[in-house]
Amino acid sequence: MLALLAARQCGCDEPLRVRRAESTRRVLNLELNKDRDVQRIHGSGVNTLDIDPVEGKYMLSGGSDGVIAIYDLENATKRQQYTCKAICTVGRSHGHVHKYSVETVQWYPCDTGMFTSSSFDKTLKIWDTNRLLPAEVFSFEGTVYCHHMSPVATKHCLIAVGTRNPKVQLCDLKSGSCTHILQGHRGEVLSVRWSPRHEHILVTASADSKVRIWDVRKASGSLILLDQHNGEIAKSSSEAGTIANSFVYTIGTIANSLVHSIRTIAIVFSWDS
């Protein structure tokens, strides 16, 4: 790190390199908190977690038992050792509980009044947090593996959904229907992720061992295709080259860990994306 700082001071390195090095160092030094615990609610494995982006106070969890729990992370007691309590649950006795394993949960990016969940029971549910009841339910033909809402969108309310079907589906919260289908993958879609900077850019990963980058405003297919051979740029759009130059570096730092010869199961944007 000292060598990087010295190189930055003399202008030999860009600020971005120092930032990446420090971010990597912090991630590698992460360890479990010995003073804080979480109340056990799930009877089996926990598949998914999400902390609300507004206050950072509430955490969602979804388990392989179909149960969803909401925890209050704030330590109101100010004691050093503290257990985060579940403030409400969608348990097995709840009338609208998922029948099978919950694969993804996510808070609505703007407030904690709404959250979403998707499950192996082929549904995506939009929940009213205060009433703890589904306000909308989207049903699909195949098992739902993942979904994601854009954290920065202002011009759309689309939820990207990955299922056993190779077509990526976009559900519109305003209309309550599936409005778009993105075709290109040849296997089940295992991970979807909106760009944290550009609201119309979506990244998807499939069991066909390929990662695709889409501009959902265009009907000409994916902009960029990545596979175990370092990928190729789609030629279907005249603007693909320009957009590719803008976004290839967004995922460049994680491409090596994303693209495998077997399958890709998760997409994570780099710190500087």
Cα distance between residue 193 and residue 152, in whole Å: 12
Helix ranges, 159-212 (H):
none
Q: What is the pLDDT of residues 204-247, one digit of tens each?
A: 999 998 999 999 998 888 899 987 655 444 444 444 444 434 44
Q: Note the pLDDT of residue 228.
A: 62
Domain regions of the chain by residue span: 1-31, 37-113+125-139, 141-273
Q: Note the pLDDT of residue 106.
A: 98
Q: Output the six-digit token pair for 150.
A: 């854009």
Q: What is the pLDDT of residues 173-191, one digit of tens each?
A: 998 888 889 999 999 999 9
Q: How many residues does the chain have?
A: 273
Question: Across residues 13-26, what is the average pLDDT?
Answer: 82
Q: Note the pLDDT of residue 219.
A: 81
The residue whose two tokens read 């992720």 is 193
Quick one: CA torsion of 20, 21, 24, 26, rounded to 10 degrees? -110
For the ranges 69-78, 115-124, 172-181, 257-266, the lowest mean pLDDT is seen at: 257-266
Residue 132 CA neighbour count, 13 Å, CB half: 13
In this structure, the strands spanning 46-51 and 102-107 are unpaired
Q: What is the pLDDT of residues 57-68, one digit of tens each?
A: 999 999 999 999
pLDDT over 80 at 253, yes or no: no
Query: Top-level CATH class of 141-273?
Result: mainly beta
Q: Helix, strand, coil proportions of the chain in percent (round to 5)?
A: 10, 35, 50
Cα distance between residue 248 and residue 213, in whole Å: 9
pLDDT over 80 at 8, yes or no: no
Q: Could you tell me where the beta strands, DSSP code E, fall in the chain?
A: 36-38, 46-51, 58-63, 68-72, 82-90, 102-107, 114-119, 123-128, 133-139, 144-149, 158-163, 168-172, 177-182, 189-194, 201-206, 211-215, 224-226, 232-233
More confident residue, 195 or 11: 195
Cα distance between residue 52 and residue 59, in whole Å: 6
- Tell me how far the alpha carbon of residue 150 is from its chain's centroid: 9
Q: What is the mean pLDDT of the chain?
A: 84
More confident residue, 268 or 124: 124
| Residue among 254, 245, 161, 151 at smallest CA distance from 199 | 151
Strand partners, 217: none
**Neighbouring C-beta atoms of residue 96, cutoff 10 Å:** 13
Contacts of 159 (CB under 8 A, 6+ apart): 116, 124, 147, 148, 149, 170, 171, 172, 173
Q: What is the pLDDT of residues 84-134, one digit of tens each?
A: 999 999 999 999 999 999 999 999 999 999 999 999 999 999 999 999 999
- Tell me how far the alpha carbon of residue 266 is from its chain's centroid: 8
Supply the pTM of this predicted model: 0.78
Q: Note the pLDDT of residue 269.
A: 58
Question: Across residues 24-30, what is the average pLDDT?
Answer: 90
